[in-house]
Amino acid sequence: MAERPEDLNLPNAVITRIIKEALPDGVNISKEARSAISRAASVFVLYATSCANNFAMKGKRKTLNAGDVLSAMEEMEFQRFVAPLKESLEVYRREQKGKKEARKDKDKKADSEEQDKSREEENDDDDERMEEEEPNEEEEVDN
Amino acid sequence: MAARLSGGENRLVSLPLSRIRVIMKSSPEVSSINQDALFLTAKATELFVQYLATYSYKHGRGKEKSALTYSDLSHTAEECETFQFLADILPKKILASKYLKMLEKEKRDGAVGGDDEDEEEEDDDEDESVEEDVGS
């Protein structure tokens, strides 16, 4: 694993909230424990990505897709995640589709204005604020 | 609005997708990531955080004090096979004095203690017994 610049960390506030909601009320979480879980989460992302990428390569694809991630979860012995992930994915896809429709309507009204093309998400703020999911219509393509 | 599939928030996923993407892209072999895959990774990470926290709390000794401590987590990394990939980043901790004694003993026994990394933890609000990291 590379060094740990700030970018590879996840926002403290969000991590803390997820932990607090998972544990019974009134349980204290030491700062050290919280920081450790945050690091662990970053490592998890890297591990999952690497694993998913292996599946993509096996399928001779250059783009990681949903199936690769789900296969990675099984491989990593997190099968328990697969069902809830599939459920969430369905909701997410419906949401994205809904957003697309809404944008199409808006575009019709707004008179041919180029709003969102498929753009990289580089502009997103990287500080610890929570943010909405990005409405990306297409696959991300690396330049 | 989005259905609440994980407790607490009204949104579908709390972790920022852009940050998750940055981490994923730091992996050299990865060229591009489909939006669904990005979402799933973020969601899986949330599930992971929940699982790690609850598992460690349930199986750790912090439970007696109604707290989740670092040692609960490192205990999990060491004992539970599923979390063993975390063992290197969640090493067990021992008293500095014990560690020094270990080093002396190794010297006496002729073994060379080569790979000791003396990293100080920045936030050290655990009980005073925690001083040095020791790679297990």
CB of B43 within 8 A of CB of B13?
yes
ipTM: 0.74
Instruction: Using alpha carbons only, give the angle A90, B52, A9 rounded to the nearest 5 degrees.
Output: 80
Q: What is the pLDDT of residue A133?
A: 46
Q: Which residue has the tokens 């896809």?
A: A93
Chain B residues whose beta carbon lies within 8 Å of the beta carbon of residue A91: 2-3, 5, 12
Domain ranges of chain A: 1-76, 80-117
β partners of residue A63: B32
| Digit-coded pLDDT (tens) for A66-91 | 999 999 999 999 999 999 999 999 99
- Within 10 angstroms of residue B110's Cβ, the number of other Cβ atoms is 6
d(CA A15, CA B130): 24
Which chain A residue's Cα is nearest to B82?
A77
pLDDT at A137 exceeding the cut of 90: no
| Digit-coded pLDDT (tens) for B88-119 | 999 998 888 888 888 899 888 876 555 555 54
pLDDT at A143 exceeding the cut of 60: no
Which chain A residue's Cα is nearest to B67?
A28
C-alpha distance from A111 to closest chain B C-alpha (Å):
27
| pLDDT one digit per residue (tens) for chain B, 136 residues | 444 444 545 689 999 999 999 999 999 889 999 999 999 999 999 999 999 999 999 998 876 879 999 999 999 999 999 999 999 999 998 888 888 888 899 888 876 555 555 544 444 444 445 445 555 4
Listed in sequence order, the residues at least 6 apart from B93 whose beta carbon sits closer than 8 Å to its beta carbon are B70, B71, B74, B129, B130, B131, B132, B133, B134
Helix H, strand E, coil C: the string for A98-141 is: HHHHHHHHHHHHHCCCCCCCCCCCCCCCCCCCCCCCCCCCCCCC
> If one looks up domain A1-76 in CATH, what number appears?
1.10.20.10
pLDDT at A120 exceeding the cut of 50: no
For residues A110, A114, A115 and A116, what is the CA-based torsion angle, rounded to 10 degrees? 140
Q: Which of B39, B52, B86, B92 is the mutation pick for testing A, counting most A CBs within 10 A?
A: B39
Average pLDDT, chain A: 82
